[in-house]
Amino acid sequence: MNWDFKQWSALSAAADCGSFEQAAGILGITASAVSKRIRELEEAVGAVLLTRSRPCRPTSEGRRLLRYWRQIQGLQQSLESELQARPAVLSLAVNHDSLDTWLLPVLAETIGRENMLLDIQADDQDYTLQLLAEGRVTAAVSSSSEPIKGCEAHLIGALRYRLTASPDFVEKWFSDGLTIKACKKAPLLMFNRKDDLQNSFLHQHFGIDAAICPVHYIPASYAFTQAVYLGLGYGMLMDVQIAEAIGQGHLIDLCPGAYLDVPLYWHCWQMQPPQLARLPQLIREAAAVYLV
């Protein structure tokens, strides 16, 4: 037999209150709806469960069902308590630069308030959304503002990048400035073959296509930054990584005053557990220290 627990709730409320009208007020339905649910339950069990006196009282069969109903409610409350105590899992797709700079301090601050575990997958910011679309993660940090079906997007802020190089590298390759001739010889750094940051900046500010440049591929954010410091090549680094180094002369901004902002959006499913539903606002507030 398939039980309709709305019917059991109606029986319990009417038995506790002594009237269909008061039960209706508790359940947020009409008195006739309460009567209908109890009648359907009586038809299902083949017995009268509630006297229609004033006040109404459960019959012996009604009391028997109510004992089971109390047990069911107890089990339900126990299950809810266990589920609330069990950590929620935030499975998150994020770009490498965010993971290596601002994200972990922000997550440490925000999930410290929640009972939550992390499962992080890293990819380029233009591709993390695909992992969410495939159902492999429950949230994603992406440069796209367009949410996929069933999801919502929240602007977190933007990562600001500048084209940088070490002083020795500039002296060796760009002594006459960043020209097309120099770019054909000076090694450019790229994270991987998906990385379009360098090409976008060079094209926008110098009219140079990165396809003409010799390239080192360094597929790790920290190693990429070290490669710039060590003079292996020039490339786009984040303000949060280099502001102090440029001020101290350890790195050189190859195009002073120019930068490339990459907006970041928190994408998540519209229907989420309460712990995860609170995250976009918490993340945005905490990330303001690191992002523009």
CA pair distance 32, 112, nearest whole angstrom: 48
135 pLDDT tier (thresholds 50, 70, 90): confident
Same domain for 128 and 252: no
Mind spelling out the 3-state secondary structure of 10-29?
Answer: HHHHHHHHCCHHHHHHHHCC
Same domain for 111 and 46: no
pLDDT at 216: 95
CA pair distance 71, 69, nearest whole angstrom: 5
Same domain for 202 and 75: no
Same domain for 281 and 251: no
Same domain for 147 and 267: yes
> pLDDT tens digits, residue range 116-134?
788 898 887 778 888 888 7
Same domain for 252 and 193: yes
**% residues pLDDT > 70 (the chain):** 95
Least reliable range by pLDDT among 28-32, 108-112, 172-176, 266-270: 108-112
CATH number at residue 222: 3.40.190.10
Q: 67, 91, 107: which is the final residue of a domain?
A: 67
**Of 183, 215, 221, residue with least CA distance to 97:** 221
Number of domains in the chain: 3
Across 166-229, the runs of DSSP E, i.e. the strands, are: 188-190, 215-217
Same domain for 243 and 180: yes
Highest mean predicted confidence (pLDDT) among 2-16, 54-68, 217-231: 217-231
Same domain for 270 and 235: no
pLDDT of 212 above 70: yes
Same domain for 75 and 49: no
Polymer length of the chain: 292
Range of the domain at 283: 71-157+262-288
Same domain for 97 and 32: no
Same domain for 270 and 148: yes
Mean pLDDT estimate for the chain: 86
> pLDDT tens digits, residue range 157-192?
998 999 999 999 999 999 988 888 988 999 999 988
